[in-house]
Structure 1
Amino acid sequence: MNFIPYLEEKVLEQIGTFDLKIPKYQRPYKWRKEHVIQLLDDLYENIYQKPNNKYRAGSIIIHQDGNDCNVVDGQQRLTTLTLIFLFLKRQKNISSDLKLLFGTKFKNIISKNNIKYNYKVIENWFNSKSFDNKDLQYFAKKIETQLQFVQVTVSKQDEAFQLFDSQNSRGKALFPEDLLKAFHLREMEKDGYPEIDLEKYSIKWEDYILDEKKLINILGHHLFRIRKWTKGDKEYSFSKFHINEFKGISLSSKNMYNYDLPFRVLEGYSQNTQNDRLLRNFHIPNKYPFQLTMPIINGKNFFEYVFHYLELNEELFYKTEKNRFNSFYNQLCFGNNTQKYLSEDFEYEKSWRTGDVKVRNLFENICLLYVDRFGIGNFDKVYFEEFYKNAYQLRLDNKAISDNSILNYKKGQKFFKSIPNSYSPEELHSDLFCNYFSEKKWAEQDFVSSTEDIYGYLKGGKNAG
């Protein structure tokens, strides 16, 4: 039976009587040492040392689904409080009737590692205090009766997530990649995927976050910017306020529109080929034919979309085997002369300055958009050389480069219109060829430092090997 969301002030012992569960779409337990110590210090100062004081520790959102009470927001604090009472029970023999999250099985390796580490942090914190058994019993009872939350209870999952998104848009608890993961795992649940699939995509998502922040890089520096720039939107920095860019067609929705029918058909086709042994035997392609600027299909398809572009980005820019573009990219974008594209050394020792990184990202996104449309096999040197010349003129012309410098730079931004509107690479030629017409000869005082060889290449003074 559905009911209107309601808000109550509750102390921990009231919340702790519920059979709380962590939904599969939740992020891992990520609190660090400083968060745990801050909570313990707050409890000590505001509850233990103040006899009649109630201390409010924020809000939690509960989705009441039948007999289950799913924690939509607040799991980091509740998990830490569970660890505190676990320590008090196990090692100090302090009794408590709190259920909290004692029955929860944490499968994610990130959660497991943080739980083990933070349990030790809690142990060290208590051992540093001169508590006797009576003090600990008093402290535990005070936490149960004086630690207060604002509990928001809803019966509909959509309402829970609306609150979840708005709650975190005002705070700093979640990053956009956390919100997107939760949203699309929830969509997978709606589409009927089993728990093992949700866990698989959740773990892979988190692995990419930890792997040199590759996930954050592909979402914020590449996919978000390219999708916005192809639409003419002058957006640069990706945040939690922009996550709707990565929400789209819900396959579980009963509302169907003409525009989404081709994508539903393609999704069904790709799923069928994966499950059809005959089609697999004939090597019929079973991967969804992603295009960078396509509408997002919520759920599993979104995760596959992001993973596809992580792999394409890796293949294009970081492939270890030698190829013409990779040699060009490493030598002219970083000054790495171990794998030469030009016949002579190319000096670029300050390629990691903020402005230089912005220009390089502009060049990378033009290349990624081109390869996405026409394929790596059609990425001839005439294209990547001219993309470079168009992008890197900005580095020569501007000593300071801001986000707006990139957004308003016509020689670079024009490709985000022309590439998606071209049906063959040759159609780009009218926008492609770029000569550098500066009348100035190279002088350190007239150009930003460490760009002399860029100047030489754009003026035609450095040639390919």
Structure 2
Amino acid sequence: MKKLQPHIITVKDLITNNSLDIPEYQRPYKWTLKNVNQLIDDIITHKKKSSYRLGTLVIHKENNISNIVDGQQRTISLSLIAYAIYEKFKNEIQNDKQLKSIDFEKLKILSIKFQNDITLFNIQNNYREISRRIRQFDIYSIRFFFEKCELVQIELDDISEAFQFFDSQNSRGKDLEPHDLLKAFHLREMQNISTTEKLNVVKAWEEMDSRKLADLFENYLFRIRNWSKGYSARYFTKEEVDVFKGISLENKTDFPYNRLYRIGHFFTEEYNKNYQRNIDLSKADFPFQLDQVIINGKRFFEMIIYYNNIISNTDKLDTEKFQNFKTINEILTTYEGRYRTGDGYVRTLFDCALIYYIDKFGINDIELVINKIFVWAYSVRMKLQAVQIASIDNHALEDNLFKAIRESLEPKNIMNYSVKPIEKNDSTKTEIIFKHFEKLKYVN
């Protein structure tokens, strides 16, 4: 990376920079009332200081446009505060030598036509709250806000370096989720595709709730990938994000192992671009597998949305056609202890194994296999009075059904997997599960 040349700018400098822009690939504006109230509280608390540092702004400079790579949320919020101050204190500002030169009617950031519904809602909601809060300001607070509140601005002329800086800076922070870092990494891997295509690729990701994304990675994708390879999967943190980094097919280096992925990638691309798709309206998805090597960039985002859809629909199998699935689903959604934390861990273990099987073999022989997956997963619950995250992690590694699924070539291989019967039920509030174990002949 080139040497960075950071410099200090004031809020006044920020809001009067007409070259600032927010690129289409940025995530929606998600600051809440809590965030803007905290920012205003900080400004009021520190207004007697000689200066107050608000954070970092990372800029990618391109064709006289300063695209905000990192700092978008704070920049929009500061612009909202600036405009609310102007609306409330026009006369005071016009009579102030330092502030009257600011053209508040042409604030660049607020002139952007935002399209995202989340962004629009949060801007409107936060502006109303800011308008209420700035009644606490006086002329001294206003001067402090515009002239003494500062940011560290870093300008880079290479988009790859900009995202790399964003990635490295935030991997040390406390406010970003692991999936945010993955987004930055894989956006950086998409530098050879158009902005429009980037926007289309990331659109579905942006529309997902952040907590849902975190749950998808932590409870399903991370655990399945690690358990299938024989690795522990207790917690998905920033230190484990490399699990979702892989190969870049635009790289000229061509190792034998990645040729299969290269063929699948470029065939899918060409198939979907062919004029015949305008006739048959058919579209080919890349043939993803949960344990595959990750393809960096566009395919990563597609993969996440693909598995979010699969996982969301796993419990919607035709219960009239699959009676065993119906029975087990009724048991797991009605037994007395299902809401306990430990039971939630076991349910995740069961869901992960079922999803991994369906990902590999579809619904072939699912009626036979689901009983085995059920007994394998819930034997942990039957044997222990208290189930911890370590309990399911140890079980997945010591009696590794995931490894068996990974190595299987046909569903019958899973049917041959040996699951030990339990001796007795040491758990509580699980009588209906124990009775089903007896029915399936898995109690000695």
Query: 1:76-91, aligned counterparts within 5 Å?
Result: 76-91=73-88
Q: Distance in 1 between matches of 2:286 and 2:31?
A: 37
How far the C-alpha of 1:7 sits from its partner, in A, is 2.5
One-letter amino acid of the structure 1 residue matched with residue 38 of structure 2: Q
Counterpart in 2 of 1:75?
A: 72
Give the drift of 1:221: 1.1
CA distance in 2, matches of 1:367, 1:13: 56
Structure 1: unaligned runs, 5 residues or longer: 336-347
What is the SS of the residue equivalent to 2:109? coil
Label 1:86 to 1:409 Cα distance change in 2 as closer, same or farther (>3 A): same
Aligned mates of 1:192, 1:293 — CA distance in 2: 26
The answer to whether residue 388 in structure 2 is matched with residue 395 in structure 1 is no
| Matched-pair contact (CA < 8 Å) for 1:435–1:459 | no
> Residue in 2 aligned with 1:215?
213
In structure 1, the partner of 2:30 is 30
CA distance in structure 2 between the partners assigned to 1:285 and 1:147 by the alignment: 51
In the alignment, which of 222, 225, 228 is matched to residue 223 of structure 2?
225
What secondary structure does 2:114 align onto? Answer: coil
Match of residue 7 from structure 2:
8
Q: Percent identity?
A: 34
Contact 1:63–1:70 (Cα < 8 Å) also in 2: yes
Q: Is the 8 A contact 2:385 2:427 kept in 1?
A: yes
2:192 is the alignment partner of 1:191: yes
1:118 CA drift (Å): 0.5
Which residue pairs with 2:43 in the alignment? 43
Of 422, 434, 437, the match for 1:455 = 434
CA gap of 1:258–1:461, structure 2 versus 1, over 3 A, is closer
Structure 2 match to 1:112: 120
Kindly indicate whether the alpha-carbon contact (under 8 Å) linking 1:62 and 1:160 is maintained by their aligned counterparts in 2. Answer: yes
Q: Quote the Cα distance in structure 2 between the aligned partners of 1:54 and 1:410.
A: 54
Aligned equivalents of 2:131, 2:16: Cα separation in 1:
25
Matched residue SS, 1:409: helix
The aligned amino acid for 1:9 is I
Structure 2 residue matching 1:148: 3-state secondary structure: strand
Query: Which amino acid in 1 is paired with 2:437?
Result: L
TM-score (normalizing by structure 2): 0.87
The Cα shift of 1:320 comes to: 7.1
* Structure-1 residue corresponding to 2:96: none
Please state whether the residue corresponding to 1:152 is helix, strand or coil.
strand
- AA aligned opposite 1:80: S
What residue is the counterpart of 1:145 in the other structure?
147
Q: Give the alignment's Cα RMSD to 1 decimal.
A: 2.7
- TM superposition score normalised by structure 1: 0.84
Query: Offset of 1:311 from its aligned partner?
Result: 2.0
Check whether the contact 2:11–2:151 (CA below 8 A) recurs between aligned residues. yes
Find the counterpart in structure 1 of residue 242 from structure 2. 244
Pair 151,284 (structure 1): closer, same or farther in 2 beyond 3 Å: closer
Residues 382 and 326 of structure 1: CA distance in aligned 2, closer, same or farther (over 3 Å): closer
* Structure 2 residue aligned with 1:62: 59
Q: How is 1:199-348 mapped onto 2 (pairs within 5 angstroms)?
A: 199-209=199-209, 213-278=211-276, 286-319=284-317, 322-324=320-322, 326-335=325-334, 348=335
Query: Match of 1:173, SS?
Result: coil
Instruction: Indicate if the aligned counterparts of 2:227 and 2:397 stay in contact, CA closer than 8 A.
Output: no
Q: Secondary structure at the match of 1:199?
A: helix
Q: Aligned with 1:396: secondary structure?
A: helix
Q: How far apart, in 2, do the equivalents of 1:411 and 1:80 lie?
A: 47
Secondary structure of the structure 1 residue equivalent to 2:127: helix
Pick from 172, 175, 194 the counterpart of residue 173 of structure 1: 175
Task: State whether residues 249 and 295 of structure 2, in contact with CA within 8 Å, keep that contact through their aligned partners in structure 1.
Answer: yes
How far does residue 84 in structure 1 lie from its aligned partner after superposition? 1.0
Candidates 93, 118, 130, aligned match of 1:122? 130
SS at match of 2:406: coil
Cα separation, 2, equivalents of 1:61 and 1:283: 42
Residue 265 of structure 1: how far off its partner (Å) = 1.4
Give the corresponding residue for 2:354: 367
What code does the residue aligned with 1:334 have?
Answer: T
**CA distance in structure 2 between the aligned counterparts of 1:240 and 1:369, rounded to whole angstroms:** 24
Work out the number of aligned pairs and report it.
429
Secondary structure of residue in 2 paired with 1:449: coil
Q: Deviations over 1:99-135 (max 9, x none)?
A: 56244332221111100001000111123x3x6xxx4
Query: Aligned-pair distance for 1:80?
Result: 0.7
For the 8 Å contact 2:177–2:214, the answer to whether it is kept is no
Match of 2:97 in 1: none
Change (3 A) 1:236 1:24: farther
State which drifts further: 366-375 or 406-415.
406-415
Deviation at 1:11, TM superposition (A): 2.7
Residue deviations 1:377-418 (CA, integer Å, cap 9, x gap) = x13322110111111111011112222211211587411111
Q: Give the drift of 1:21.
A: 1.9
1:417 and 1:234 map into 2 onto residues whose CA distance is: 13
- Residue 382 (structure 1) aligned with residue 361 (structure 2): no
Write the deviation string for residues 246-273 of structure 1: whole angstroms up to 9, x where unpaired.
2222233333332222212111111222
Corresponding residue SS for 1:58: strand
